[in-house]
A and B are shown apart, each in its own frame.
Chain A
Amino acid sequence: MTALRQEPLAEEWARQRVRRRTSVLARLRSKPVAAFLMCLPLLVLIVGLIIYPFFYSIYLAMLNKRETQVVWLDNFRFLLTMDTFWLVVRTSFLFTFTAVFFKALLGFILALVINTLPTRGQRVWRGVSLVPWVMPLALSTLGWWWIFEPTHSALNWILVELGFAPKSWLADPFWARFSIILVNVWYGTPFFMIMYLAGLKSIPLELFDSASIDGAGPFQRLRFITLPMLKNIIAITMLFSTIVTFANFDIVRVLTRGGPRNETHLFGTFSFRLGIESGDVPLGAAVALVMFPILAVSAFFILRGVRRSVV
């Protein structure tokens, strides 16, 4: 507080007496007030552009299609009777859990492998591995779209060369789902690798030495040292990725637009289809809101995990 004040020196010397004035000006200069003012833009942003839209979206979801009348939970009730909605729920969960599982598994393997290499090369491998994560997802998915193209492109050429029948990747429900998961795994594995690698680097080497002396082999060290030490970071990364994956939009939008026959719609793309493209804003808002409980639960556990890792 004293540091923020800038009263003229001479005046201060002349005064010579303790007089703690609390004029409006002095209060403005005081530390807590300055601190609050500096946070104000952030606060306005959070309240005006996140909290308010969130509640507004709840209100929207309770309107009829023309937004003239409050119909309470009718939109949600309607969704529950809708086969497509249940398909979206199934696809979303399948997509999220499969993708997160493989990202975690592959990311962990890659992190372990990179960590085993000589230190000099690690930086390069780590750097190159992150390329999929750095490319704008919509654009790299466009690349994948072309890779999946059935007649002229790469994937089917390889299949044919290996003696298999070519597949219509994005037209067949099973392979379409496989494709969106594959692209998500491609995009997200680097993030897991980076997180796990940072975790691995933070384990004190003496632990491994001590375990070796105690007679632990490589797999026992993995089981009893590495995994327990990384437990928290593994959990946080998976939960974090669960949110991002669950709410994904770009991949499905570019690759399949929800097709074939809505088999690959996720909450995000379905909500976009209903709310923006079909003009049923309330129903679109309702679909997006269905995501909220899942996101909230994940966020709660992330917060708990983060707090714990700090303590």
Chain B
Amino acid sequence: MIRSIKTRRQAVLVVCYGVIAVFMVFFLFPPYWMALTSFKTNQEIESLKGIPFLIQQGATLKHYQDLFTKTDFLIYLKNTAIITTLVTILSLVISVLAAYSLSRLGFIGAGILGTGVFLTYLVPDTLLFIPFFKIIGWLGLLNSKWSLLLVFPTAIVPFCTWILIGYFASIPRELDEAALVDGANHLQMLLRIFLPVAVPGLVAATMFAFTISWAGFLYPMAFIFSNEEQLLTVGTVTTLIKGDVYHWGGLMAGALLACLPPVLLYAFLMDYYISGLTSGSTKA
């Protein structure tokens, strides 16, 4: 009997690992294929012989070299880095202030605002990009990357505020009170007790702000036309394609490099990201 339970458990595990393997191939094939292509020579990419899932004619870094020397990739990278950094800081300041206020202090209408935050975080970018296009036009910010400082936070701030409200609410109120009784003033309490304790929530919020901003596609696509102002996502997708012949190697090298920062960030801080993701969508 004991043996049968054990063998059954083993059979279940075999099936599970089989299913996982299928999923992993499905999930990881695109990045693998992208990486593979980016290291292949153009001749090998064009060649119809051999197995395409391996590099058989020697790997090359030429596509990466070309990316930095012959394209505007660095300009895009710089623009994206600047915008993402500023948007992240801006969004986090707004979110932390609001979330602290909503979860700890409260005022008349705070409940309505909390619900409002939740609803606005459900507003997708495709709903409002047209009025934004007009508004940015009035402000003279069309074709300027700075326009994104205005529109990216609309997606990020509600989401981060929402996560942080949930996180802040999970920190026992007595902790603040103990600090106040211990002789801290309000600011000291915030800086030395509250925010350090809230670090996991802050890390999650920062990651979301960073990732959403880095991956932004529709807004730069709609508001920015020139290469000097363009961001990484749109720049890679639109301008690295030149002429009728697609330079697949270079394109994949660019896409992969552009993917790297959020993926690396995620790789190191996975647990924060996941806890933020699950709490942000379910808890109130």
Residues of A within 8 A of B (CB): 3-4, 6, 31-36, 38-39, 41-43, 45-46, 49-50, 53-54, 56-57, 60, 106, 109-110, 113-114, 116-117, 125-132, 134-140, 142-144, 146-147, 149, 151-154, 157, 186, 189-191, 194-195, 198, 233, 236-237, 240, 243-244, 246-250, 253-254, 267-268, 271-272, 275-276, 281, 284-285, 288-289, 291-292, 295, 298-299, 302-303, 306-307, 309-310
Contacts and interface: CB of A to CB of B under 8 A. Distances in A.
B199 interface: no
A31 B105 contact: yes
A131 B211 CA distance: 13
Most buried by A among B127, B157, B211, B236: B127
Contacts of B33: 143, 146-147, 154
A2 to B, nearest CB: 9
Contacts of B29: 147, 154
A272 B270 CA distance: 34
B276 to A, nearest CB: 11
Nearest to B126: A268
B37 A146 contact: yes
Closest 6 CB pairs of A and B: A247-B124, A268-B126, A136-B215, A35-B105, A42-B98, A38-B101
Contacts, number: 291
Contacts of A249: 125-126, 217-218
A237 B281 contact: yes
Given A233-B282, A249-B126, A292-B127, A153 B52 contact: yes
Contact of A56 (B13, B53, B129, B135): B135
A3 B178 CA distance: 12
B90 to A, nearest CB: 9
A247 B16 CA distance: 34
A3 to B, nearest CB: 5
Contacts of A186: 26-27, 30
Contacts of B154: 45, 49-50
A154 B154 CA distance: 39
Interface string B15-40: 01101100110111111011001000
B272 interface: no
11 contacts: A42-B98, A45-B154, A53-B132, A125-B20, A134-B263, A146-B251, A149-B246, A236-B282, A271-B130, A281-B130, A288-B130
A109 B19 contact: yes
Contacts of A254: 237
Contacts of A131: 27-28, 31, 263, 266
A28 B259 CA distance: 46
Given A41-B98, A113-B16, A194 B277 contact: yes
A130 B270 contact: yes
B202 interface: no
A125 B22 CA distance: 12
Given A113-B19, A299-B119, A42 B128 contact: no
| Interface of chain B: mostly helix, strand, loop or mixed | helix
Contact of A57 (B130, B157, B252, B273): B130
Given A128-B24, A129-B23, A131-B31, 8 more contacts: A35-B105, A39-B102, A128-B27, A138-B237, A151-B48, A247-B124, A248-B126, A271-B126
A8 to B, nearest CB: 13
Contacts of B215: 136-139
Given A128-B28, A284-B130, A46 B252 contact: no
B205 to A, nearest CB: 13
Nearest to A190: B27
A37 to B, nearest CB: 8
B233 A139 contact: yes
Contacts of B282: 195, 198, 233, 236, 306, 309
Contacts of B277: 191, 194-195
B255 interface: yes
A302 B130 CA distance: 26
A138 to B, nearest CB: 4
Contacts of A110: 19-20, 23
B243 interface: no
Interface string B96-128: 011011100111101001011111101111111
